[in-house]
Structure 1
Amino acid sequence: MTSADLKPLVEARPHPTAASASREASSKQRSSQQTWRYAVAGLSASLVGLGLARFSYTPLIPALIAANWFSASDVVYLGAANLAGYLAGALTARRAASRIGAVRALRAMMLLATLSFFASSSPVSFTWFFAWRFLSGLTGGIIMVLAASVILPHTSAARRGIVGGVIFAGVGLGVAASGTLVPLLLQQGLQQSWYGLGVLSALLTLASWWNWPAEANSDTAPSQTKHQTSPIARALMIQYGLNAVALVPHMVFIVDFVARGLGQGIAAGSRYWVLYGLGAIVGPLVTGHLGDRAGFGPALRAAFLIEAAAVLLPTVSTAPLSLIVSSIVIGGFTPGIVPLVLGRIHELVPHSAEQQRATWSHATTSFALFQAAAAYGFSWIYAQTGGDYQVLFALGGGAVVLALAVDLAMALARRKA
């Protein structure tokens, strides 16, 4: 065979570099598809355990009272049971992950949240209902700690913010559902509403079941090494807790502020809650993208500044435009602050998935403690001031200004060191 005969065969053989590039592109595509599958599983978990299990209860309160299931004072304690359960979940999440694995724990919590909806469909007793509201809060706390910490180690650093945003958009979808889906379900009846939420939760649990990433043994086995938390990480936990305080005035009082404080009625107040929910859907996607582009430290600083202005806005103006802007922005930051804090933790603790999970668990606990204290404290202040909502917005704004001050102080200390 002559060299002329060999030439076509040589030319037909794929170039090694081209073949390698093709394999790399195919690998990247598969990795990208897996990442979004994981993100959708995380979104489903946050929607079930955080969005539906917590926020769907708010529009059900008037129906629970009207149907004589519980008194007005009882429903307040039932709401508090969910907050207490959330705190317990944040405290026990890592232990649950080390016992049965993080993915198994997430699946179990989604099943438990689903069961809680069906169990709440009948007023067996106050104790029964209290226990299930506590367990629904427990599922939210465990999901909040574990969902992102399972997924983000499988995500490239360049996409960490937007993937975290997708995961916690489930919280926003739950807020939006509380203002739209739940009222529609209530037209069918109170018991049917609980059934409807249970069916939706079951479908989301099923959809996410096989889409979680596989766990390495090191992801679930507790390390014998004790990690020291850096001063910057401890400061971040305090900032995250102060941010929780800033969210409470809108989260708890905005509907009542518009309905009774401004005398515009419950329908107007509910419209602002829907706007709050719309902001909560978009918020984590925007903040996550911002964190990817600008870095999570600067993005978090900007978020505190914008949030402070939005919380304080009702103290300056109660015009419809001001309240619309304030509701949408604070709604956006309710879940939107989460991917920023998570991304910042990954920046501060770059090489240890276990330490990242531990730091995030402590931050979530801080958030839950500050939020519960603010919810009860602001309710007491509201009663003591004769229903002065402006004081609550001012205190919320002051809390996030303090969070920004802590961040700036730590940045200044690092420069001097």
Structure 2
Amino acid sequence: MQDQASALRAGQSDSLDMRSIYAMLAGFCASLVAIGLARFAYTPLIPPLIEAHWFTSSQAVTLGAANFAGYLAGALFGRSMASTLGNRLALRLLMAIATAAFFACAFPLSIAWFFGWRFLSGLSGGAIMVLVATTILPHIAPARRGFASGMIFFGLGFGIAASGTLIPRLLHYGLQATWIGLGVFSLVLTVVAWFGWPSTNPPVPAVTREAHGARHDGTRLRLLYAQYAANALGLVPAMILLVDYIARGIGRGAGVGASYWVLYGVAAIFGPLICGNLGDRIGFGRAYRYALIVQAAAAALLAMSGHAYVIGLATVILGLFTPGIVPLALGRVHELLPHDHAEQRASWSRATSAFALFQAVGGYGYSFLFSHTHNNYALIFACGALALTAAFVADLFVNRD
């Protein structure tokens, strides 16, 4: 009877109450607005921006880079913002900034105006990436944190899918109306999330001997940062070239290329949930190891074959892991630092900064390589596969468990 009572209490401690569910909903809204839409909705808007003569093609690319630069700044300074304002106020402010940026971009007053708001939207995304999960997860039972992180970053995948489905419909009403529509949608989500954030900062338990030892597991943490950076190098080729490869590289046309992007987005919706639950079941370190080799195989498939079904399989895998690696990497941080919420946030900030930096480096580097190798798609995809394979091999040597 006593064992049954203990089991019942354990089950109750692992359950999610309404406050936890509301916090997860707030996290979903934040990742959808500041990352899913603020970053990925811009890609299908580039041709209309050029066609409407708002900006030249080179200016449109520069404005896309502004979001990457802002994302890196947000990843670097998000913790400082939370320390000054508190988690709850900082997250509210960041969502408000991302929402304001959509409305501001409806009025192309100048290149500097647009660049500044794209930078701010990126900053809000980077800071939210650092803060959102580390604000919510300490209030969630440990056994449910993989599921919770999957729900939080479900918004990221939903935003990728929306970029291929919602934007074309909004564009029927004009470019300015599209930006305003995104702003209204973001405003609604900001209001929904407003009271969902935990009112207190994460609890700070006493530091145990186990936590002290985990804190000094620097080799595995540094490996994780390097793996997450390599993951950025592995995913960027598909993010920037997949549609163009299908449309021009193998001559299937823009319509077919767009349909594959929708497939990529649909897979991205389920990525965080699948990966978060997988981490809960088999451990995040092991799940991330498997994720690296599967992504490497998918990138290699794109490099080696132009067959429709092969490309479709690779598209689903890479779409799944584009947002799916986030809960895996975050869960790995929690595995390595299980009792220290402050160090978890610091380590997650470093990991996010590494990803943001190498995402930007990869974007510019691959573009340079692509233009100087006469549009060699296979070479770019092979580089991504090589980066992911190197991360997998390093994991085999360092994380022998």
Same fold by TM-score greater than 0.5: yes
Per the alignment, in what secondary structure is the counterpart of residue 193 of structure 1? helix
| 1:405 maps to 2:393 | yes
Range 260-269 or range 67-76, more displaced: 260-269
Structure 1 residue aligned with 2:207:
none
Per the alignment, in what secondary structure is the counterpart of residue 107 of structure 2? coil
Structure 2 residue aligned with 1:12:
none
Q: Distance in 1 between matches of 2:248 and 2:364?
A: 20
Structure 2 residue aligned with 1:163:
148
User: Which residue, 212, 216, 237 being the options, matches 1:249?
Assistant: 237
Trace 1:120-135 onto structure 2 (pairs within 5 A). Answer: 120-135=105-120
Q: CA deviation at 1:228?
A: 5.3
| 1:310 maps to 2:308 | no
User: Which residue, 21, 24, 29 being the options, matches 1:36?
Assistant: 21
Structure 2 residue aligned with 1:372:
360
Trace 1:228-307 onto structure 2 (pairs within 5 A). Answer: 230-307=218-295
Pair 1:319–1:56, CA change in 2 (3 A): same
Pair 1:30–1:282, CA change in 2 (3 A): closer
Q: Distance in 2 between matches of 1:27 and 1:291?
A: 21
| 1:174 maps to 2:159 | yes
Q: Distance in 2 between matches of 1:95 and 1:218?
A: 18
Structure 2 residue aligned with 1:14:
none
Q: Deviations over 1:305-347 (max 9, x none)?
A: 1111111111222111111111111011011001111111101
Give the letter aligned to residue 29 of structure 2. S
Which runs of no fewer than 5 residues in structure 2 stay unpaired? 205-211
User: Which residue, 131, 146, 152 being the options, matches 1:146?
Assistant: 131
Q: Deviations over 1:232-265 (max 9, x none)?
A: 1011000000001000011011011111111111
Give the letter aligned to residue 168 of structure 2. P
Per the alignment, in what secondary structure is the counterpart of residue 200 of structure 2? coil
Sequence identity of aligned pairs in percent?
A: 50
Pair 1:30–1:397, CA change in 2 (3 A): closer
User: Which residue, 50, 73, 77 being the options, matches 2:35?
Assistant: 50
Q: CA deviation at 1:216?
A: 3.4
Per the alignment, in what secondary structure is the counterpart of residue 187 of structure 1? helix
Give the letter aligned to residue 169 of structure 2. L
Q: Distance in 2 between matches of 1:30 and 1:315?
A: 45
Number of aligned residues? 390
Q: CA deviation at 1:38?
A: 1.3
User: Which residue, 50, 55, 59 being the options, matches 1:70?
Assistant: 55
Pair 1:130–1:378, CA change in 2 (3 A): same
Structure 2 residue aligned with 1:114:
99
Equivalent residues of 2:134, 2:341 under 8 A apart = yes
Give the letter aligned to residue 40 of structure 2. F
TM-score of the pair, normalised by structure 2: 0.93
TM-score of the pair, normalised by structure 1: 0.90
User: Which residue, 382, 391, 396 being the options, matches 2:379?
Assistant: 391
Give the letter aligned to residue 109 of structure 1. L
| 1:361 maps to 2:349 | yes
Equivalent residues of 2:144, 2:280 under 8 A apart = yes
Q: Distance in 2 between matches of 1:388 and 1:333?
A: 24
Q: CA deviation at 1:401?
A: 0.4
Q: Distance in 2 between matches of 1:272 and 1:396?
A: 19
Q: CA deviation at 1:109?
A: 0.6
Equivalent residues of 2:221, 2:336 under 8 A apart = yes
Structure 2 residue aligned with 1:103:
88
Q: Deviations over 1:114-171 (max 9, x none)?
A: 0000000011000000000000100000000000000110111211111111111111
Q: CA deviation at 1:411?
A: 2.0
Structure 2 residue aligned with 1:320:
308
Which runs of no fewer than 5 residues in structure 1 stay unpaired? 1-16, 220-224
